[in-house]
Amino acid sequence: MSGKITNEEREEMREIFGRIDLDSDGKICDYELDQLLKDAGHPLPGFMVREIIRKLDHNKDNLISFDEFLAIIQDLRGSQIAKTFRKVINRKEGILAIGGTSELSSEGTQHSFSEEERFAFVNWINSALENDDDCKHVLPMDPNTNSLFTSVGDGIVLCKMINLSVKDTIDERTINKKKLTPFTIQENLNLALNSASAIGCHVVNIGALDLKEGKPHLVLGLLWQIIKIGLFADIELSRNEALAALLRDGETLEDLMKLSPEELLLRWANFHLENAGQPKINNFSSDIKDSRAYFHLLNQIAPKGTEEDQPRIDINMAGFSEKDDMKRAEAMLQQADRLGCRQFVTPADVVSGNPKLNLAFVANLFNKYPALTKPENEDIDWGLLEGETREERTFRNWMNSLGVTPHVNHLYGDLHDAMIILQLYDMIKVPVDWTGKVNKPPYPKLGTNMKKLENCNYAVELGKSAKFSLVGIGGQDLNDGNATLTLALVWQLMRRYTLNVLADLGEGEKVNDLTIVNWVNKTLKEAGKSHTISSFKDKEISSSLAVLELIDALQPNSINYELVKTSSLSEDDKMENAKYAISMARKIGARVYALPEDLVEVKPKMVMTVFACLMARGMKRV
Q: What is the mean pLDDT of residues 437-459?
A: 94
DSSP β-ladder status, 95-99 and 64-65: unpaired
The pLDDT of residue 385 is 73
Lowest mean pLDDT among 33-47, 73-87, 465-479, 514-528: 73-87
Question: pLDDT of 172-216, one tens digit each?
Answer: 999 999 999 999 999 999 999 999 999 999 997 899 999 999 999
Buried b (16+ CB within 10 A) or exposed e, 499-508: bebbbebeee
The pLDDT of residue 506 is 79
Q: Which residue has the higher pLDDT, 39 or 598?
A: 598
> How sure is the predictor about 622, in pLDDT bands with cuts at 50, 70 and 90?
very low
> How sure is the predictor about 67, in pLDDT bands with cuts at 50, 70 and 90?
confident
Q: Do 553 and 526 meet the contact criterion of CB atoms below 8 Å apart?
A: yes
The pLDDT of residue 329 is 97
Lowest mean pLDDT among 458-462, 492-496, 502-506: 502-506
- Say if residue 249's pLDDT is above 80: yes
Average model confidence (pLDDT) for the chain? 87
Q: What is the mean pLDDT of residues 561-586?
A: 97
Q: What is the mean pLDDT of residues 257-266?
A: 94
Q: Cα(418)–Cα(460) distance, rounded to whole angstroms?
A: 9
Q: Which residue has the higher pLDDT, 571 or 504?
A: 571
Q: Which of 58, 60, 69, 61 is nearest to 21 (CA)?
A: 69
Q: Is the peptide bond before 370 cis (omega within 30 degrees of 0)?
A: no
Question: pLDDT of 126-136, one tens digit each?
Answer: 999 999 999 99
pLDDT above 90 covers a percentage of the chain that reads 71
The pLDDT of residue 42 is 53
The pLDDT of residue 620 is 80
Lowest mean pLDDT among 185-189, 318-322, 382-386: 382-386
> How sure is the predictor about 63, in pLDDT bands with cuts at 50, 70 and 90?
confident
Residues 6+ apart with CB under 8 A from 443: 417, 451, 452
The pLDDT of residue 20 is 64
The pLDDT of residue 22 is 57
Q: What is the mean pLDDT of residues 440-447?
A: 89
Q: Cα(157)–Cα(135) distance, rounded to whole angstroms?
A: 7
Identify residue 420 by its one-letter amino acid code: I
Q: Cα(550)–Cα(581) distance, rounded to whole angstroms?
A: 10
The pLDDT of residue 306 is 85
The pLDDT of residue 59 is 67
Identify the helix (H) or strand (E) that includes residue 273.
Answer: helix 261-275
Q: What is the mean pLDDT of residues 512-532?
A: 96
DSSP β-ladder status, 64-65 and 27-28: antiparallel
Q: Cα(197)–Cα(329) distance, rounded to whole angstroms?
A: 36
Q: Do 34 and 52 meet the contact criterion of CB atoms below 8 Å apart?
A: no
Q: What are phi and psi of 577, to 5 degrees?
A: -60, -45
The pLDDT of residue 111 is 56
The pLDDT of residue 64 is 73
Q: What is the mean pLDDT of residues 508-530?
A: 93
> How sure is the predictor about 93, in pLDDT bands with cuts at 50, 70 and 90?
very low
Q: Which of 291, 331, 334, 340 is nearest to 311 (CA)?
A: 340
The pLDDT of residue 583 is 98
The pLDDT of residue 30 is 63
pLDDT above 70 covers a percentage of the chain that reads 83
Q: Cα(193)–Cα(13) distance, rounded to whole angstroms?
A: 21
Q: How far is CA 397 from CA 136, 393, 427, 620, in A?
A: 31, 6, 15, 24
> How sure is the predictor about 112, in pLDDT bands with cuts at 50, 70 and 90?
low
Q: Cα(361)–Cα(375) distance, rounded to whole angstroms?
A: 26
Q: Which residue has the higher pLDDT, 345 or 73?
A: 345
- Say if residue 549's pLDDT is above 50: yes
Question: pLDDT of 116-170, one tens digit each?
Answer: 999 999 999 999 999 999 999 999 999 999 999 999 999 999 999 999 999 999 9
Q: For the residues of 349-370, what is the DSSP string, one character each?
A: HHHHT-HHHHHHHHHHHHHH--
The structure's pTM equals 0.84
Q: What is the mean pLDDT of residues 466-494?
A: 95
Using DSSP, state whether 119 is helix, strand or coil: helix
Q: What is the mean pLDDT of residues 583-596?
A: 97
Q: What is the mean pLDDT of residues 424-445?
A: 93
The pLDDT of residue 505 is 84
Residues 6+ apart with CB under 8 A from 612: 498, 499, 501, 502, 511, 516
Phi-psi region of 496 (alpha: psi -120 to 50; beta: other; left: phi over 0): alpha
